[in-house]
């Protein structure tokens, strides 16, 4: 019993040590200029599947390229610095944490150098300046608006953590809606008439109205639109505090004349991929075909990443759950030192379980992926981070399931095992755990299905799973219903397949007796009906 307790203790310590060693002390290579952007904010940046029009391969995503105005400006800056450009796809909320934690060298993502952001990071001189517009539906009551007063009473929103959201208050009696995560969400809300419009910059408004003929961009003449400061409508390159490359970047930007910048933006608007080509007759079926043709490969790769994370994390999580669940059921050791270690370990395990069961996985992902890099200067590979986060989250739930499975075994079996001289370890291995594994198999299957779906929350750390690829595609083609219908169907296929395989495994573990028992029940039921 003592040896069994020591072995489990050292296994848990070893697992923790392996986890810590999985962090790579990664630093940005000297010859690389790593730039973060959403790759889903056309025409500033978008995702495509070829290198057409100067697109750049996205870091860590084979077959996925980033194009747009931001990419072209990043290429010029990288050339001026004498470095190779690496585009790192990161969702908007993760850009500043990624920069501060050293995962990227710069943010070139249509970001305005507001006073609040300047407290956290430094900015270069602006590389583009635009006007604020409102995007609405062409057939809405506000389609002919010319001033802010014409939007009185309208339901208006803007992107979260942007200056756009603050200027909404300038509209008289506006029905200000909750800020939304990204432009994809706002366009969906506008199409479903949940909102009447959203605040945007002119290039995005031009793209939205060009791609979706049901949308209209409302521009305002001087004095009729939003009151803004110069920095509010400018976009600049964000860099870490006191980065010496800020001055170098300013010198590079100074060599790009205004006429060339306008030309680059015009080309970006023209080159932005749309869901349906002009030669094709627009229809829902044609939209599905075009999206699959354009992004089908990326969706399959995203599905592969989703399955990889879900399967490995479920297996690792079950192993963690077994170790933790068995350890927490160990009887108290008679050895003073081991008894103390047991208590300490039980306390740590209780904290681990309560923390990871009591907080959302999305929050855990942000804290672990960005927080650890900021505090300890350890940068995880994104895929490893995803596996680590989902595994320990699953382990926390499985440990309680395993513990409940152990306690559900009849006490008489423990007593019988002790009566024939079995140790606690032998009792667990030979008698209890085989029953526990069979009993918790449905729960394991449930966790597997949950993990397939929950990988979607890892988009906050820009893991290239199925949901992330769908977001990038819909942010480029503006076909949200069609894109996410395809994504939803792919998730359904994966979960149904996983459920079917696990049910087959259950029958296999039960053996032929399960079938005989089932047949007996059916025959008895038929006999009762006959008697009645």
Q: What are phi and psi of 6, to 5 degrees?
A: -65, -40
User: What is the reported pLDDT for 381?
Assistant: 81
User: What is the reported pLDDT for 519?
Assistant: 53
Q: Are strands 56-57 and 46-48 parallel, antiparallel or unpaired?
A: unpaired
Q: What is the dihedral of CA 318, 319, 325, 327, to 10 degrees?
A: 180
Bridge partners (DSSP) listed for residue 180? 159
User: What is the reported pLDDT for 86?
Assistant: 95
Distance CA 271, CA 252 (A): 25
Bridge partners (DSSP) listed for residue 65? 48, 57
pLDDT in tens, 391-450: 999 999 998 888 888 777 777 777 787 788 787 677 777 787 778 887 888 888 899 999
Q: Would you say the C-alpha torsion 479, 480, 481, 483 has a positive or negative sign?
A: positive
User: How many helices (DSSP H) and strands (DSSP E) are in the chain?
Assistant: 20, 13
Where the chain has pLDDT below 50, the residues are 1-26, 275-279, 515, 521-522, 529-530, 532
Residue 473, Ramachandran bin (φ over 0: left; ψ between -120 and 50: alpha; else beta):
alpha
Helix (H) or strand (E) holding 123: strand 122-129
Helix (H) or strand (E) holding 387: helix 382-408
**Residue ranges in 149-222 assigned as alpha helix (H):** 163-167, 183-191, 202-211
Give the residue from 95, 169, 164 showing the smallest Cα distance to 130: 164
Considering the chain, what is the average pLDDT of its residues? 84
What are the distances in angstroms from CA 463 to CA 106, 365, 479? 19, 11, 22
User: What is the reported pLDDT for 26?
Assistant: 43
Q: How far apart are the first and last CA of the chain?
A: 57
Radius of gyration of the chain measured on its C-alpha atoms: 28
User: What is the reported pLDDT for 22?
Assistant: 38
**Coil, strand, or helix at residue 84?**
strand
pLDDT in tens, 88-121: 999 888 899 999 988 899 999 999 898 889 999 9
Distance CA 417, CA 428 (A): 10
Paired tokens of 117: 């952001």
Paired tokens of 320: 């963690």
């Amino acid at each position: 019993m003592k040896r069994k307790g020591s072995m489990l203790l050292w296994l848990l310590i070893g697992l923790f040590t392996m986890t810590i060693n999985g962090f790579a002390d990664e630093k940005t290579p000297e010859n690389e200029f790593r730039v973060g952007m959403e790759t889903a904010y056309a025409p500033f940046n978008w995702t495509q599947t070829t290198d057409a029009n100067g697109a750049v391969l996205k870091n860590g995503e084979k077959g996925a390229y980033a194009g747009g105005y931001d990419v072209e400006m990043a290429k010029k800056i990288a050339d001026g610095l004498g470095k190779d450009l690496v585009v790192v796809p990161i969702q908007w909320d993760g850009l500043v944490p990624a920069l501060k934690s050293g995962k990227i060298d710069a943010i070139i993502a249509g970001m305005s150098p507001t006073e609040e952001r300047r407290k956290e990071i430094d900015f270069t001189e602006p590389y583009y300046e635009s006007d604020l517009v409102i995007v609405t539906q062409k057939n809405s009551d506000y389609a002919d608006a010319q001033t802010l007063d014409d939007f009185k009473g309208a339901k208006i929103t803007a992107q979260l953590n942007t200056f756009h959201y603050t200027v909404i208050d300038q509209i008289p009696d506006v029905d200000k809606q909750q800020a939304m995560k990204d432009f994809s969400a706002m366009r969906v809300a506008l199409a479903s008439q949940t909102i009447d419009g959203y605040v945007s910059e002119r290039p995005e408004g031009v793209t939205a109205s060009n791609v979706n003929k049901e949308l209209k961009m409302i521009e305002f003449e001087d004095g009729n639109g939003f009151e803004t400061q110069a920095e509010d409508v400018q976009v600049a390159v964000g860099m870490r505090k006191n980065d010496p490359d800020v001055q170098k970047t300013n010198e590079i930007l100074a060599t790009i004349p205004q006429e060339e910048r306008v030309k680059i933006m015009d080309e970006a608007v023209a080159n932005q991929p749309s869901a349906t080509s002009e030669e094709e007759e627009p229809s829902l079926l044609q939209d599905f075909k075009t999206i699959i043709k354009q992004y089908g490969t990326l969706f399959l790769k995203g599905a592969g990443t989703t399955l990889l994370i879900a399967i490995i994390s479920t297996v690792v999580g079950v192993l963690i759950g077994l170790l933790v669940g068995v350890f927490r059921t160990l009887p108290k050791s008679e050895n003073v030192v081991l008894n103390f270690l047991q208590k300490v370990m039980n306390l740590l395990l209780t904290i681990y379980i309560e923390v990871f069961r009591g907080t959302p996985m999305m929050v855990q992902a942000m804290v672990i992926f960005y927080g650890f890099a900021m505090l300890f200067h350890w940068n995880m590979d994104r895929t490893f981070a995803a596996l680590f986060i989902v595994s320990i989250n699953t382990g926390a739930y499985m440990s309680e399931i395993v513990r409940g499975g152990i306690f559900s075994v009849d006490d008489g079996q423990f007593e019988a095992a002790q009566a024939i001289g079995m140790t606690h370890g032998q009792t667990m291995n030979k008698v209890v755990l085989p029953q526990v594994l069979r009993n918790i198999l449905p729960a394991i299957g449930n966790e597997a299905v949950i993990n397939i779906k929950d990988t979607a929350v890892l988009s906050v750390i820009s893991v290239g799973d199925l949901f992330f690829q769908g977001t990038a595609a819909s942010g480029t083609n503006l076909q949200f219903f069609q894109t996410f219908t395809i994504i939803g169907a792919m998730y359904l296929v994966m979960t149904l397949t996983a459920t079917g395989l696990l049910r087959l495994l259950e029958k296999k573990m039960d053996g032929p007796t399960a079938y005989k028992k089932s047949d007996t029940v059916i025959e008895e039921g038929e006999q009762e009906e006959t008697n009645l």
